[in-house]
Amino acid sequence: MPDDKTPLIALAEVTGLFEPNQTEELAQMLDEYFQGDRDRPDFWSVDDKNGPVGVAYVAPERMTEGTWNLYLIAVHPDFQRQGRGRALLRHVEQTLVERGARMLLVETSGLKSFESVRAFYRKSGYDEEARIREFYTAGEDKIVFRKVLADGVQSENEDSQKG
């Protein structure tokens, strides 16, 4: 809901994983979402316990078939290590599977301080797919993780072998 904008931004800030310019971008994304067409495919998912304690945002990758990006996932530090992030991620994945998505991509920082974030994705079944050196700033790589949600390619190959 539009009233969630301020608490969602505060949630992203308190995690310490987002720079001020990134939370400004988040505010802009929320504005666009709430002012835009309700039939758009992207979606926000919120874990709420008398206010948002976790949030995820995903959108389809343009010019692809069934590829989505997880642009944001965050859990308030007071509620971390309780399985909430994993449950939120599973909810996103299940929703995407229901929508016919093939894969979900996630990008994160290669800094040492983000190792726990990268470990979270690995434990959640994501594979490191790419590293772009010095992407964010000098000395800070971008790491892209990938998880196949539905194996449409395998099904197509099996069908072609049958015919």
Domain span including residue 115? 2-162
Structure tokens at 101: 């998505």
Task: Describe the chain by its helix, strand, coil percentages, rounded to 5.
Answer: 45, 30, 25
Q: How far apart are CA 116 and CA 119, in angstroms?
A: 5
Percent of the chain's residues with pLDDT above 90: 53
The string of pLDDT tens digits covering residues 3-53 is: 778 888 888 888 888 888 888 888 888 888 778 766 678 777 888 777 788
The string of pLDDT tens digits covering residues 66-82 is: 999 999 899 999 999 99
Tally of structural domains, the chain: 1
User: Domain with 86 in it: what CATH number?
Assistant: 3.40.630.30
User: What b/e sequence results for 73-93 when a residue is b if at least 16 CB atoms lie within 10 Å of its CB, and e otherwise?
Assistant: bbbbeeebeeebbeebbeebb
